[in-house]
Structure 1
């Protein structure tokens, strides 16, 4: 079977029929209806001017409607450009220009955000459709079938935006084959199969929602349960009503739900779900389960281990092993030369699952001469091929001449009782760098955190600047959802010193 969205949707409709594919709080759609309705919707979009290769932007909250539009666009070879509902007008204009979006489908407003577009700055933009208007398009499926038959595995399927805590966004271009194969390679590690009823609140405009959510469910024949605005009451209702078996949201969200659960019946949840919602006897020992490692450029995780299974003891604290099809090497950050097992350097990846390129950058600007993508992540491989992540190369910093990896300090903090989340950055002053930590949790004190951290890591890595928060929502984030390190440093300068 060709690795295209159209071929996949047709095949899964034949296998799973009326079984629900996506459920949101007010709507649901089965595999058969998804196939027929997106064929007719695609035909209507084609009649309105869209065609194979068109760049189509989409700004909508999670739900059945988002999935229908996205599938319709991709089936006929148009290129989907999911756009964040958090974007400010200037950011939206920049991403529309970067991806050369020609057709834009958008809601008027979501959670206080509106999406005005300055068309004078966007020469490629031809049409703006309101979401309800686009969803009403309809046609006979003959046009869809004819164009879908011309879509090839190597054709671009989606442009996913990603960015770090600073710098301009990157539009990563993924083909049908590389995206679908990347998602398929991680299904076992994420414990997703045809019997799964997967709750995933992550926005569909992130690869964590689009790949780990929509495409994972579609490839496995599973049922995806989602919602546009997660909250304890609505989420608990969905988990119970839909008998969700796998919860793969944010750890902080799971912790909050556990505090509100009361008498809620979450007995359908299975191992592999975030542990805060599982009974204590199903919890793993700290470090025993892999922390899947991935990025938008690899279309999600490229390294992991079954989420319901302990790794070998020597691999505890690792990210598991590279998935089949992923070629991974560790190189010296300065020279680019390969490093032996056990030595920390930059992680580089290569293989058919990696993105095809980045918008407005040449291949030479993105990949090494022998085809590896430098991820900017630091880590090492042990003798058995397990990958240990040590943070970002651009986050690594020196304290009195010694190297500090923020990821290592964060892991030490997150292992402490009462800590739900921890974020570590350097905070430079006139003399040198200081280690700063913003910690989210209950009943915490700087004194206890500092003492416990000092017992776990070298003294020069122990934070000297602290900010304690009771709610993860206070963590500053950019439009892509990533933590804003510059804003963290500002918070820490006003924080607590020992």
Structure 2
């Protein structure tokens, strides 16, 4: 059964809903800047009117390259409320990646931050798009991005070819509110709403196109029933919003449930403790490894704060045995530290708007299915087939997972439907899984990613999940390295701020949790500048394997 909210499942419908329901409550806070739900409505309407005046409308494609800030959210909502397709872009893109995405996705307009962290995006655009530096502030005409006509800059930086985003925030004297309402009324659940690019770890990123109906219905169902947050929750988050976990499972969930997002690029325990005290943070959304690092930190212990997992993606902040959030007190009750293995490891992909398999916020996995993924959410169907013959397999057998349902993408950019879906409308995920008789799903490995160690198969993800959060490890990448005619299991890790890798201690702890052949022989600590990753932060396994060969040869 397809889930249906009690408002029209379009972005204009969602905006009307959250403005009426949550009004003057804060929706997002970043670096002292804050915006309420009412202000998101008002400011995105102003930008929408300005975009219409500049030629945007239904079907136009508008890219947004910015950190998770009020301006980012306003730009996304402005584009979608007029029927344009919003395209969040990775803030990690280098010039060649940026050039490819802007051209391939055929963006008409770009809203871009002038800078973020160490990135100078205006210089990067001039590197990516030959001839841009010589353009004026009129419509652009570039061979490298043939459809791109306007670039609007968030911040004080400027070029002769750019326009300030503030001019969009000023609205339009030509397009009034009545005209905007008429245009919004033409936006339907069937219209495309966004194009989200996958990580592209082995090739150029895929542009995944989702419609208004699926985006709003899925974020409503998941945000209201599968995530524990709601009005009054102030959720600290470090996630980027250019990929599906940040865009859908963080931003759009909160737009539905009324939680406030406190976004930051600094997830250190000291900064999280500060945000709890100064901004009233009372919950977390992110990776379980981050939760464990925070819970063990001196900064939170000194403030007598506890981090309590609510599922594998969310946690509540507690003090003296009580959640700081009144909403969580009402919805969850007393803080309980359940074993991590009892929480479903929500499973999904960009093509399904994130999680297609999960568990409700108040549901634990059966004890005999530790660390499984959960069950298909309402409106989704799962099927396991033989990877070669495509024959459906009985319950319990491992095969390729196929998925179909209400949250599945409309298409991949530039691909015909028959190239993407099978004859029954299922999407082949490339994931090897098993599905039991009660509908519980267990992920085994990606097709082609299994590593053979001493004749036994090792799924890298299983080992990576076991390592994440262990003794200060924030992220892990596991690969097989050829050594002396055999394959050695090796891992590269990113450590939490202020933590150093104790290789022997990690290996010893892993031997308690995993079969011996699944424990890496060597573990190496890298930093973000040396760990090979895509624009969305996904580890590039081929490059990591080459790097580990060089490191282990030293």
Q: Structures share a fold, TM > 0.5? A: yes
Given candidates 348, 363, 367, the residue that maps to 1:294 is 348
Given candidates 514, 520, 524, the residue that maps to 1:468 is 524
Q: Is 1:341 paired with 2:395?
A: yes
Partner residue in 1 for 2:221: 185
Instruction: Name the CA distance, whole Å, in 2 between partners of 1:252 and 1:453.
Output: 15
Q: Is 1:105 paired with 2:82?
A: no
Q: Is 1:250 paired with 2:287?
A: yes
Given candidates 541, 547, 550, the residue that maps to 1:485 is 541
SS in 1 for 2:422: coil
Q: Is 1:324 paired with 2:355?
A: no
Instruction: Name the CA distance, whole Å, in 2 between partners of 1:471 and 1:228.
Output: 16
With over 3 angstroms needed to count, the CA separation of the structure-2 counterparts of 1:12 and 1:277, relative to structure 1, is closer
With over 3 angstroms needed to count, the CA separation of the structure-2 counterparts of 1:174 and 1:315, relative to structure 1, is same
Which deviates more from structure 2 when the two are superposed, residues 267-276 or residues 448-457?
Answer: 267-276
Instruction: Name the CA distance, whole Å, in 1 between partners of 2:195 and 2:543.
Output: 28
Please, which runs of 5 or more residues in structure 2 have no aligned partner?
1-6, 130-141, 156-163, 322-334
Post-superposition shift, 1:450?
Answer: 4.7
SS in 2 for 1:192: coil
Instruction: Name the CA distance, whole Å, in 1 between partners of 2:509 and 2:109.
Output: 54
Post-superposition shift, 1:337?
Answer: 1.6
Instruction: Name the CA distance, whole Å, in 1 between partners of 2:222 and 2:85.
Output: 23
Instruction: Name the CA distance, whole Å, in 1 between partners of 2:444 and 2:309.
Output: 30
Partner residue in 2 for 1:406: 460
Partner residue in 1 for 2:69: 63
Instruction: Name the CA distance, whole Å, in 2 between partners of 1:228 and 1:440.
Output: 16
Post-superposition shift, 1:89?
Answer: 0.6
Instruction: Name the CA distance, whole Å, in 1 between partners of 2:288 and 2:13.
Output: 35
Aligned residues of 1:275 and 1:282 also touching (Cα < 8 A): no
Partner residue in 1 for 2:211: 175
Aligned residues of 2:492 and 2:526 also touching (Cα < 8 A): no
With over 3 angstroms needed to count, the CA separation of the structure-2 counterparts of 1:3 and 1:262, relative to structure 1, is same
Aligned residues of 2:289 and 2:473 also touching (Cα < 8 A): no
Given candidates 127, 131, 144, the residue that maps to 2:150 is 127
Post-superposition shift, 1:135?
Answer: 3.5
Instruction: Name the CA distance, whole Å, in 2 between partners of 1:200 and 1:450.
Output: 30
Instruction: Name the CA distance, whole Å, in 1 between partners of 2:469 and 2:236.
Output: 25
Aligned residues of 2:33 and 2:70 also touching (Cα < 8 A): yes
Partner residue in 1 for 2:235: 198
Q: Deviations over 1:393-441 (max 9, x none)?
A: 1312334554322123334445866655432122245745432223456
TM-score (norm 2): 0.82
Aligned residues of 1:82 and 1:204 also touching (Cα < 8 A): yes
Q: Is 1:374 paired with 2:428?
A: yes
Q: Is 1:2 paired with 2:8?
A: yes
Partner residue in 2 for 1:263: 302
Post-superposition shift, 1:254?
Answer: 3.5
Post-superposition shift, 1:38?
Answer: 1.6
SS in 2 for 1:487: helix
Aligned residues of 1:289 and 1:317 also touching (Cα < 8 A): yes
Aligned residues: 496
Partner residue in 1 for 2:45: 39
SS in 1 for 2:210: strand
RMSD over aligned Cα atoms: 2.8
Given candidates 263, 273, 279, the residue that maps to 1:226 is 263
TM-score (norm 1): 0.90
- Residue correspondence of structure 1 range 388-399 to structure 2 within 5 A: 388-399=442-453
Please, which runs of 5 or more residues in structure 1 have no aligned partner?
none
Given candidates 148, 159, 183, the residue that maps to 2:195 is 159
Instruction: Name the CA distance, whole Å, in 2 between partners of 1:22 and 1:305.
Output: 26
- Residue correspondence of structure 1 range 414-425 to structure 2 within 5 A: 414=468, 420-425=474-479
Given candidates 223, 244, 248, the residue that maps to 1:211 is 248
Aligned residues of 1:275 and 1:283 also touching (Cα < 8 A): no
Aligned residues of 2:283 and 2:316 also touching (Cα < 8 A): no
Post-superposition shift, 1:458?
Answer: 4.6
Q: Deviations over 1:139-190 (max 9, x none)?
A: 2322211111111101000000112432111110000111122222322222
Partner residue in 2 for 1:237: 274
Instruction: Name the CA distance, whole Å, in 1 between partners of 2:302 and 2:469.
Output: 28
Post-superposition shift, 1:444?
Answer: 5.9
With over 3 angstroms needed to count, the CA separation of the structure-2 counterparts of 1:468 and 1:307, relative to structure 1, is farther
Aligned residues of 1:346 and 1:378 also touching (Cα < 8 A): yes
With over 3 angstroms needed to count, the CA separation of the structure-2 counterparts of 1:173 and 1:470, relative to structure 1, is closer
Post-superposition shift, 1:449?
Answer: 4.8
With over 3 angstroms needed to count, the CA separation of the structure-2 counterparts of 1:439 and 1:30, relative to structure 1, is closer
